[in-house]
Amino acid sequence: MPDFILVLFYFVFLSQIFILSYYYPQKFYQRMRYVTENFPPSKYPKLYPRLTKKYTAAYADEAVRAGPVKYRRINLFILLVGLILIAVALITGFSLQSKGEEIILVFYTALQFSPIILLEISDFKRMSLMRKTNQDSTRKADLMPRRFFDFVSPVTFGLAVFLVVVYTSFLLYINDFEVSWDNGVLVMLVTIIGVHVYFAALIKWQVFGKKMDPHLANKDRLPQMKTIVSTSVYTSIAMSIFFMALAVMDEFDMHYVQALLLSLYFQALAIFGLGTMLRSSRIEDIDFEVYRKDPTVA
Amino acid sequence: MEITIDIDDPDPLFAQLMAQIKQAVIAGELKPGDALPSIRQLANDLELNNKTVAKAYRLLERDSVIQAKGYRGTFIHPEARANSTVDLNAWVLTKLRETIEAFRETGVTDSEIRIAFGNIMNNHKN
C-alpha cells in the first residue's frame, strides 16, 4: 500500500470527524437554541406537547433549554472519541490492510449519526403527540397540486436512474452475468432494490401522505418535502458511485482504499442529507406563530 | 391559494370545500386551466376522508366549475367563473317552493304532498 494513501486516509477521516461531529452538529445546535430561546413552551405550548403536558410552564421553559446543551455535549464526546481513534492509530502504526478497519469506521460513523437519528425519532414522537392533542377545528391546505418533479429536477433524477442502471450492468458484467448469493451479486441487487423501495415509500409518505405536524404552515412544509426528495435522489447517486468505485477497487485488488472510500461516502451522505436540510429550510423563515397558545394573540 | 375548513361548522365539509373553490374562482384566485390537487392529496392535507373530497369534486364537476382530465388531473373549467355563480341548491329550493304553492292552491294537503314526494323519491332510488 502506498504511504500517501494512509496520509490521505487520515486527512479524510479527520474531515469526517469535523463534518459529522462538529460542523453540522454546531449548525443544528444553533437552530435548536434559536427555537428554544425565541419560542419557549410557556408562549408556544403546541410546539412542545410532551413538556407542556408534563410540567408547569416555567419548568418547561427551563427543561427545553437543556436539550441543545445535551446534544452539543454528546457530539463533542463523539468528536473526542474520533480524535482518540486517530491518536491510537498513529501510536500503534496502523496501516490500511482491509482487516477490520472498515468495521471500526462503520461503527464510529454510526455513533456520529446517532445523535441526529435520535433527534429525528424524538421529532417523530413529538409530531405524533401533536396530532393526538390537536384541538383546532380549522384545517388548512394548499390548492396547488404537488408533483415529484417540483422537488427535484428531471436531470438529477435521470442521472440517479442512469447510475443505478450503469452500476447493476457493471456488477453483472464483472461477474459474467452470474447471479447468485455466493458471488455477492444477489446481495447487492437486493440491497439496491431494497434501498430504492425504501426511498420511494419515504417520498410517497412525506410528499403525498398525511400531514405529520398538524400546525405547520403549508409554505414551511414544502422545504421539508424538498429535503426528503432531494436527499433520497442524491443518496442514490452517491450510493451508485460508491458501489461502483468499490467494485473497481476490488477488481484491481486495491482493498486498502475501501476505508478511504467509505469515509468519503459517509461525508457525501452527510453533505447531501444534513446539508440539504439546512439549506432548504432556514429556521428564521419558519412561521412559529402557529404554535402559540392562542394564535390570535400577537 | 389556501383553503380552510372548519370541522365544527354546521355546514357539511364537502359544501365548505365547494363554496371555497367557487369563491376562489369568482375572486380570480383560481383561473380556467389551473390544476387542482388530487383527491388523495387534498384529503390528506385537510385530514378528511377521501370520499368527502371526492364528493365535493364530483359536484363541482357536475356544476362545470372543474373538469377531470383522466390521469392528467383535475383542472378549473373554462366557464368556471360563470358557472360558480349558479347556485343549484337555491334553484331547487325555488322550484320546489313554486310547485308546493301550486299544489296548495288546488287544495292538496301538506301530508299528501309529503307522501307523494316520498313515493317519487323512493321510486327514483329504486
Please state the domain extents for chain B. 13-84, 88-125
A residues 188-227 lying closer than 8 A (beta carbon) to B: 208-211, 214, 218
Q: H or E segment at B68?
A: strand B66-68
Contact B83, B77 (CB under 8 A): yes
From the candidates B22, B41, B74, B76, which should be mutated to test the interface with A, based on the most A CB atoms within 10 A?
B41
Please tell me the total number of residues recorded for chain A in this structure: 298
Contact A218, A140 (CB under 8 A): yes
Which stretches does DSSP call E strand in chain A?
138-142
Closest Cα in chain A, distance from residue B84 (Å)? 17
Class of domain B13-84: mainly alpha
Give the pLDDT mean for A192-206.
93
- d(CA A49, CA B102) in angstroms, rounded, equals 61
DSSP B67: E
Sign of CA dihedral A160, A165, A171, A173: negative
Per-position pLDDT tens, chain B of length 126: 889 999 999 999 999 999 999 999 998 999 999 999 999 999 999 999 999 999 999 999 999 999 999 888 999 999 998 888 877 778 888 899 999 999 999 999 999 999 999 998 888 665
Q: H or E segment at A239?
A: helix A218-251
CB contact under 8 A, B37 and A210: no
The structural domains of chain A, with segments of one domain joined by +, span 7-133+146-291
- Chain B interface residues (partner A, CB cutoff 8 A): 1-9, 21, 24, 30, 35-38, 40-42, 44-48, 73
pLDDT tens per residue across span A73-104: 999 999 999 999 999 988 887 776 766 778 88
Residue A37: all three cell numbers together: 430561546
Counting Cα atoms < 13 Å in the Cβ hemisphere of B11 gives 11
pLDDT tens per residue across span A101-130: 788 889 999 999 999 999 999 999 999 999
What residue type is A171 in one-letter code?
L
CB contact under 8 A, A138 and B6: yes
Residue A264 CA, chain-centre distance (Å), reads 15
Nearest to A150 by CA among A225, A211, A201: A225
| Coil/strand/helix, residue A286 | coil
Chains A, B: CB contacts within 8 A come to 64
* Residues of chain A contacting residue B1, judged by C-beta atoms under 8 Å apart: 142-144
Q: How far apart are the first and last CA of chain A?
A: 66
ipTM of the complex: 0.77
Closest Cα in chain B, distance from residue A212 (Å)? 10
Contact A43, A292 (CB under 8 A): yes
The radius of gyration computed from the CA coordinates of chain B, to the nearest angstrom, equals: 18
Contact A180, B42 (CB under 8 A): no
- d(CA A105, CA A90) in angstroms, rounded, equals 15
Average pLDDT, chain A: 89
Nearest to A275 by CA among A237, A227, A206: A227
Q: H or E segment at B35?
A: strand B35-36
What is the model's pLDDT at position A298?
A: 43
- Return all residues near A74 (Cβ < 8 A) that are at least 6 apart: A115
